[in-house]
C-alpha cells in the first residue's frame, strides 16, 4: 500500500506538527509525565513584539540622532526598529516620520498646538513644526533590536 | 451586501510606501524584462501613456517629463497584498481574494452603516499599509464592482460608493453615463458587439432582457444582466479552488541560441513549477514544454513548438519532472534560432495523496523522494528561492530577465529593509 505510506510519511515530516507541545497529549507507555497538566506554549518573540504582523515593518537606524546620555532611551546606530503602522501616534511616542521627503526616527512632541520632533542626542536641534506645516507619521516604533557589537 | 475593495494603482502605490519622494511624481512599473508599462500613476495616465504600452516607445518622452520607471518587484507586491488581505479579513468572515489587489467581502449580517464601514476600511488599510483603496458596496458582485468604479473615478464619493445610498434617479444617471465596457465581465470585444445592438451604456445592458441575452450571447452575460438588476447570481468564493494547471514561463533578458542555455531555463522553470505543485499538495499527470522565437522580429527565422507528454505515473517530484521536461526539450530543440521565451506547464493535476502504484515501473523510493523534495522546499523557503537546485539549472543564468530598475525588496529581505536617520 504505497499510496497510504506516502501520505503518512509526508505528514509526519511537517515540523510544526512535531514541535507544538499540545496540552493533554496522551503518553503511550511508561509513567505519565508529571508536567503534562502544566505544559504551556513556549515564549515567542513575535507574540510579544509583533502582535500585528500585517501592519508591522522593520526599519534600520542609520546615524546617531537617537543616541542618548540616558541609557534606556538610547537607540544606537544600526539598531533594527520594529515599527507598527497600525498604531495611532501620540505625544512622547518614538515615531518614524516624514520630513522633507525623507524618513526620520524621532520622539514626537505634541502638546496643545505645539508639534515637534525631538532627537535623543542633545547635539541635535529639535525640529519644531510651524503653523500649517504638516507632519506625516509613517509608523510608531514599538521596540528595537540590537545585536552585540 | 457585498463590498469590493481595490487598491488604487497597486504596484505604483507599493513603490511609494517606501519612497516618499515619489509622491505626486509620474511613476510607471514595467512588466517582466522591463517590456511594457503595467502600472501607471495618475500623473502618468494624465500624460496619455496607455496600459501595456512598450517602454522603448516612450523612453524619450519619459526622460523629458521626468517619468520614473521601476521594474516589477513582485516580492514586494505579494507581501503588501498579503498585508491588505489580512487587514480586510478583520471586517468579514467571508472574503474572496479576487486578484493581487482586489478583494470581495460578504457583508450580510454585518451591523451598522455600510458606507461608514467602507470609510473605516479605507482609513485602516491606508494607515496600516500606506496603500490607498476604494470601496464599492452593492447587493451583487457586479454592482459592487460597478460602485468601486464610481468610487475610483468620481471624487464626490471620496473613495466609498454604496449602491443603495443612491436614489433611483442617480442610479439611472450613473448607469447612463458609464460605458457598457466598464461592466465586470464585459470586455472590449463583447462591448463592440453589444454596441451593434444599440447597447452602449450600463443602463442599456441593465434594461436588456436576460433571456434574450442568454440566447444571443451566453449564460455568463445573462448573469451579468441579472446582477445589474440586483439579483445575486455569482456567489462569493471563500476558498480559492486549487489551480488546474501550473505554469512557469519567462521571457529571456536576451536572445538564447544554445541548447545548454535553454536546458538551464527549462530546468529552472520545471523546479519552480514543481515547488508550486507541492505547495498545493497536487501531483501532475502530464507536462508540457514550449520554446519560441520572437514573433515581432519578422525578418528572423521563426520557430515555436509546444509539446505535451503524459507521465507514466502522476508525480510531484522535482527530479522526475525536470528529467521529463529536459527529455521533451531535447526533442523539440532546433539549432539556429534566436529563442526569446520558454516555459514549463504542469497539467492533469490531482491530489498527491491518491497516487496509484505502478505495477511495472521501477521508480525511486517514493518516501525518500518525498523527503528530499520537502527538504529542498524548506531550504529554499528559508535561504531564498533557487538556493538549492539541480545542477542542470546551471549557475550564471545569463539569459535571466532584465530588471534594470528594480527597487529593494523592502519587506522581504533583511539586507533591503529601509533605513532612517
CA-CA distance, B277 to B265, in Å (whole number)?
18
More confident residue, A14 or B167: B167
* B357–A contact, CB cutoff 8 A: yes
Q: Which of A26, A33, A65, A68 is catalytic?
A: A65
Looking at the partner chain, which of B370, B411, B419 has a beta carbon nearest the beta carbon of A60? Answer: B419
Q: Test B417 with A60 for CB contact under 8 angstroms.
A: yes
A26 among known catalytic residues: no
> CA dihedral in degrees (A137, A142, A144, A145; nearest 10)?
-130
* A73–B contact, CB cutoff 8 A: no
The side-by-side arrangement of strands in the sheet containing B37-40 is B37-40, B27-30, B68-71
How confident is the model at residue B353, as a pLDDT?
Answer: 77
**Fold annotation for A2-12+51-145:** Umud Fragment, subunit A (2.10.109)
- The pLDDT profile of chain B, 421 residues, written as one tens digit per residue, is 999 999 999 999 999 999 989 999 999 999 888 889 999 999 999 999 999 999 999 999 999 999 999 999 988 999 999 999 999 999 999 999 999 999 999 999 999 999 999 999 999 999 999 999 999 999 999 999 999 999 999 999 999 999 999 999 999 999 999 999 999 989 888 999 999 999 999 999 999 999 999 999 999 999 999 999 999 999 988 776 677 889 898 888 888 999 999 999 999 999 999 999 999 899 999 999 999 998 888 888 899 899 999 998 889 999 999 999 999 999 999 999 999 999 999 998 988 876 666 656 666 677 788 889 999 999 888 887 788 888 888 887 777 877 888 899 999 888 999 999 9
CA-CA distance, B157 to B71, in Å (whole number)?
33
CB contacts < 8 A, A to B, total 89
Measured between beta carbons, which residues in chain A are less than 8 angstroms from residue B419? 59-62
Pull the grid cell for residue B130.
500606506
How confident is the model at residue A11, as a pLDDT?
Answer: 34
How confident is the model at residue B400, as a pLDDT?
Answer: 81
* A63–B contact, CB cutoff 8 A: yes
Using CA atoms, how far residue B303 sits from B249, B263, B325, in Å, is 17, 17, 19
Measured between beta carbons, which residues in chain B are less than 8 angstroms from residue A127? none
Residue A78: closest CA among chain B residues belongs to which residue? B419
How confident is the model at residue A14, as a pLDDT?
Answer: 36
What are the residues facing A57 on neighbouring strands?
A83
Pull the grid cell for residue B388.
538549492
Residue A17, pLDDT > 50, answer: no
Measured between beta carbons, which residues in chain A are less than 8 angstroms from residue B283? none
Q: Test A86 with B419 for CB contact under 8 angstroms.
A: no
Q: How far is A111 from chain B (nearest CA, A)?
A: 22
User: Residue ranges of the domains in chain A?
Assistant: 2-12+51-145
Would you say how long chain B is, in residues? 421
* A86–B contact, CB cutoff 8 A: yes
Looking at the partner chain, which of A57, A61, A103 has a beta carbon nearest the beta carbon of B20? Answer: A103
CA-CA distance, A107 to A63, in Å (whole number)?
15
How confident is the model at residue A21, as a pLDDT?
Answer: 46
Q: Test B421 with A105 for CB contact under 8 angstroms.
A: yes
Average pLDDT for A131-140: 87
Residue A5: closest CA among chain B residues belongs to which residue? B367
Measured between beta carbons, which residues in chain A are less than 8 angstroms from residue B24? none
* B82–A contact, CB cutoff 8 A: yes
Q: Test B421 with A57 for CB contact under 8 angstroms.
A: no
Measured between beta carbons, which residues in chain A are less than 8 angstroms from residue B413? none
pTM: 0.82
Q: How far is A43 from chain B (nearest CA, A)?
A: 22
Helix or strand (DSSP H, E) at B249: strand B246-256
Residue A99: closest CA among chain B residues belongs to which residue? B20
Q: How far is A100 from chain B (nearest CA, A)?
A: 9
The DSSP 8-state label assigned to residue B130 in this structure reads: S
Measured between beta carbons, which residues in chain B are less than 8 angstroms from residue A5? 367
Q: Test B366 with A7 for CB contact under 8 angstroms.
A: no
A65 among known catalytic residues: yes
More confident residue, A147 or A15: A147
Residue A59: closest CA among chain B residues belongs to which residue? B418
**Does the ipTM exceed 0.95?**
no
Q: How far is A74 from chain B (nearest CA, A)?
A: 14
SS (H, E, C) chain B: CEEEEEECCHHHHHHHHHCHHHCCCCEEEECHHHCEEEEECHHHHHCCCCCCCEHHHHHHHHHHHCCEEEECCHHHHHHHHHHHHHHHCCCCCCEEEEECCEEEEECCCCCCCHHHHHHHHHHHHHHHHCCCEEEEEECCHHHHHHHHHHHHHCHHHCCEEEHHHCCHHHHHHHHHHCEHHHCCCCCHHHHHHHHHCCCCEHHHHHHCCHHHHHHHCCHHHHHHHHHHCCCCCCCCCCCCCCCCCEEEEEEEEEEECCHHHHHHHHHHHHHHHHHHHHHCCEEEEEEEEEEEECCCCCCCCCCEEEEEEEEEEEECCHHHHHHHHHHHHHHHCCCCCCEEEEEEEEEEEEEHHHCCCCCCCCCCCHHHHHHHHHHHHHHHHHHCCCCCCCHHHCCCCCCCCCCCCCCCCCCCCHHHCCEEC
DSSP B273-322: HHHHHHHTTEEEEEEEEEEEE-TT-TTSPP-EEEEEEEEEEEE--HHHHH
CA-CA distance, B13 to A66, in Å (whole number)?
30
A18-72 pLDDT per residue, tens? 444 445 555 567 777 888 788 888 888 988 999 999 999 999 999 999 999 999 9
CA-CA distance, B17 to B128, in Å (whole number)?
11
Q: Test A103 with B86 for CB contact under 8 angstroms.
A: no
Looking at the partner chain, which of B127, B371, B420 has a beta carbon nearest the beta carbon of A103? Answer: B420
Q: Test A7 with B418 for CB contact under 8 angstroms.
A: no
Q: In this structure, how many other beta carbons lie within 10 angstroms of the beta carbon of residue B169?
A: 8
Amino acid at each position: 500500500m504505497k499510496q497510504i505510506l506516502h501520505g503518512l510519511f509526508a505528514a509526519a515530516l511537517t515540523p510544526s506538527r512535531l514541535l507544538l507541545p499540545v496540552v493533554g497529549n496522551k503518553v503511550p507507555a511508561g509513567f505519565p509525565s508529571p508536567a503534562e497538566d502544566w505544559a504551556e506554549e513556549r515564549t515567542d518573540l513575535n507574540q510579544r513584539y509583533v502582535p500585528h504582523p500585517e501592519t508591522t515593518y522593520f526599519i534600520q537606524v542609520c546615524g546617531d540622532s537617537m543616541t542618548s546620555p540616558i541609557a534606556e532611551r538610547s537607540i544606537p546606530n544600526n539598531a533594527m526598529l520594529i515599527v507598527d503602522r497600525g498604531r495611532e501616534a501620540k505625544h512622547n511616542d518614538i515615531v518614524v516620520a516624514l520630513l522633507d521627503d525623507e524618513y526620520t526616527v524621532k520622539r514626537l512632541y505634541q502638546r496643545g498646538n505645539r508639534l515637534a520632533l525631538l532627537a535623543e542626542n542633545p547635539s541635535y536641534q529639535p525640529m519644531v513644526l510651524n503653523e500649517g506645516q504638516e507632519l506625516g507619521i509613517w509608523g510608531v516604533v514599538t521596540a528595537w533590536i540590537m545585536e552585540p557589537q | 451586501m457585498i463590498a469590493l475593495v481595490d487598491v488604487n494603482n497597486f504596484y505604483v502605490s507599493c513603490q511609494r510606501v517606501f519612497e516618499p519622494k515619489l509622491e505626486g511624481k509620474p511613476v510607471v512599473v514595467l512588466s517582466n524584462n522591463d517590456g511594457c508599462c503595467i502600472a501607471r500613476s495618475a500623473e502618468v495616465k494624465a500624460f496619455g501613456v496607455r496600459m501595456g504600452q512598450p517602454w522603448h516607445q516612450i523612453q524619450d518622452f519619459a526622460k523629458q517629463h521626468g517619468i520614473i520607471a521601476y521594474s516589477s518587484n513582485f516580492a514586494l507586491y505579494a507581501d503588501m497584498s498579503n498585508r491588505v488581505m489580512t487587514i480586510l479579513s478583520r471586517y468579514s468572515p467571508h472574503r474572496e481574494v479576487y486578484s493581487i489587489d482586489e478583494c470581495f467581502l460578504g457583508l450580510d449580517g454585518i451591523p451598522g452603516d455600510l458606507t461608514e464601514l467602507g470609510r473605516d476600511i479605507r482609513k485602516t488599510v491606508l494607515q496600516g499599509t500606506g496603500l490607498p483603496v476604494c470601496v464599492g458596496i452593492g447587493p451583487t458582485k457586479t454592482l459592487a464592482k460597478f460602485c468601486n468604479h464610481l468610487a475610483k473615478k468620481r471624487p464626490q464619493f471620496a473613495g466609498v460608493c454604496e449602491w443603495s445610498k443612491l436614489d433611483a434617479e442617480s442610479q439611472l444617471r450613473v448607469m447612463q453615463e458609464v460605458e457598457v465596457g466598464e461592466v465586470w465581465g464585459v470586455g472590449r470585444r463583447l462591448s463592440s458587439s453589444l454596441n451593434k445592438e444599440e447597447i452602449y451604456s450600463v443602463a442599456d445592458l441593465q434594461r436588456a432582457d436576460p433571456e434574450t441575452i442568454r440566447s444571443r450571447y451566453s449564460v455568463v452575460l445573462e448573469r451579468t444582466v441579472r446582477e445589474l438588476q440586483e439579483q445575486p447570481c455569482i456567489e462569493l468564493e471563500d476558498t480559492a479552488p486549487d489551480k488546474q494547471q501550473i505554469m512557469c514561463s519567462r521571457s529571456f533578458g536576451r536572445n538564447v541560441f544554445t541548447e545548454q542555455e535553454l536546458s538551464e531555463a527549462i530546468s529552472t522553470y520545471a523546479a519552480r513549477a514543481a515547488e508550486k505543485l507541492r505547495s498545493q499538495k497536487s501531483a501532475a499527470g502530464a507536462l508540457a514544454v514550449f520554446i519560441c522565437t520572437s514573433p515581432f522580429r519578422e525578418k528572423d527565422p521563426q520557430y515555436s513548438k509546444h509539446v505535451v507528454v503524459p507521465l507514466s505515473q502522476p508525480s510531484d517530484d522535482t527530479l522526475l519532472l525536470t528529467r521529463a521536461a529536459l527529455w521533451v526539450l531535447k526533442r523539440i530543440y532546433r539549432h539556429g534560432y534566436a529563442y526569446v521565451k520558454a516555459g514549463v506547464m504542469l497539467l492533469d493535476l490531482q491530489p498527491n495523496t491518491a497516487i496509484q502504484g505502478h505495477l511495472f515501473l521501477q521508480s525511486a523510493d517514493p518516501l525518500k523522494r518525498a523527503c528530499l523534495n520537502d527538504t529542498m522546499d524548506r531550504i529554499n523557503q528559508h535561504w531564498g528561492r533557487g538556493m538549492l537546485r539541480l545542477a542542470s539549472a546551471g549557475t550564471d543564468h545569463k539569459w535571466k530577465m532584465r530588471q534594470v530598475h528594480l527597487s529593494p525588496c523592502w519587506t522581504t529581505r533583511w539586507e533591503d529593509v529601509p533605513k532612517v536617520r
